[in-house]
């Protein structure tokens, strides 16, 4: 039996977040597709991500107090910290940038300063939003092009009398749907 509070939480969180709201089990399952091992780490970040999504639902004035800003991952080189982070960012539809601590310097020295790192992260976030908007426009343009082609191939039915056969309108619509499917399949 489904828990109505859980369903309401998922619905509310989904409406307020561009990223799909997933359970920790679903997050771990998605991470398992790309990362072998590190089960404890994957479980921990999955729970942290889900908790972050849930905390975003609290009132604005409390959000700053309880929403954690970071997850600290500690471990030797090559254990998968970066890959887990990269995959988690993809799931959350958040920008991700990797910065080597050894290349981090203060302003005026050779290396990268905080401003350049923030600039890179901001550029990445802006590009993500642009790509998302571009995809929305492409989908709408494709739908409009399909409708125009269908209108040329099979003009919309013009009823001459109110008592005209509704069955014919249904057949025409069915034909339009078949043609639309053929257009999509090439």
In a domain? residue 6? yes
Ordered alpha helix ranges (H), the chain:
4-16, 24-32, 39-55, 60-66, 81-91, 114-153, 166-185
Contacts of 148 (CB under 8 A, 6+ apart): none
Which of the two residues, 45 and 97, has the higher pLDDT score? Answer: 45
In a domain? residue 2? yes
pLDDT at 138: 92
pLDDT at 155: 73
In a domain? residue 111? no
Percent of all residues in the chain with a pLDDT value above 90, rounded to a whole number: 6
In a domain? residue 145? no
pLDDT at 162 over 60: no
Write b or e for each residue in 113-148: b if 16 or more Cβ atoms lie within 10 A of its Cβ, otherwise e: eeeeeeeeeeeeeeebeeeeeeeeeeeeeeeeeeee
| Tens digit of each residue's pLDDT (9 = 90 or more) over 24-40 | 899 999 999 988 888 88
In a domain? residue 53? yes
**What value, to the nearest 5°, has the Cα angle with vertex 173 and ends 170 and 177?**
135
In a domain? residue 46? yes
Please give the structure tokens belonging to residue 111.
């290396």
DSSP assignment of 119-163, as one string?
Answer: HHHHHHHHHHHHHHHHHHHHHHHHHHHHHHHHHHHSPPP--SSTT
In a domain? residue 181? no
Percent of all residues in the chain with a pLDDT value above 70, rounded to a whole number: 73
User: Domain with 43 in it: what CATH number?
Assistant: 3.40.50.300
| Tens digit of each residue's pLDDT (9 = 90 or more) over 101-156 | 666 666 666 666 777 778 888 888 888 889 989 998 998 998 888 888 888 877 76
- Range(s) of the domain holding residue 31: 1-94
| Tens digit of each residue's pLDDT (9 = 90 or more) over 67-76 | 666 778 888 8
Length of the chain in residues, anyone? 186
């Amino acid at each position: 039996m489904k828990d109505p509070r859980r369903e309401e939480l998922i619905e509310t969180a989904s409406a307020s977040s561009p990223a799909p709201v997933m359970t920790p089990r679903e997050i771990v399952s998605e991470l398992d597709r790309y990362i072998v091992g590190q089960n404890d780490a994957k479980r921990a970040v999955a729970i942290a991500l889900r908790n972050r999504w849930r905390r975003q639902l609290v009132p604005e004035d409390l959000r700053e107090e309880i929403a954690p800003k970071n997850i600290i991952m500690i471990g030797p080189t090559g254990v998968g910290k970066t890959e887990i982070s990269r995959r988690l960012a993809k799931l959350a539809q958040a920008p991700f940038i990797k910065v080597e601590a050894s290349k981090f310097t203060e302003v005026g020295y050779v290396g990268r300063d905080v401003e350049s790192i923030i600039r890179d992260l901001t550029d990445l976030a802006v590009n993500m939003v642009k790509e998302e908007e571009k995809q929305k426009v492409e989908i709408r343009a494709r739908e409009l092009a399909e409708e125009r082609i269908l209108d040329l191939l099979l003009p919309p039915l013009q009823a001459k009398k109110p008592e005209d056969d509704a069955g014919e309108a249904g057949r025409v619509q069915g034909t339009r749907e078949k043609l639309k499917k053929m257009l999509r399949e090439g």
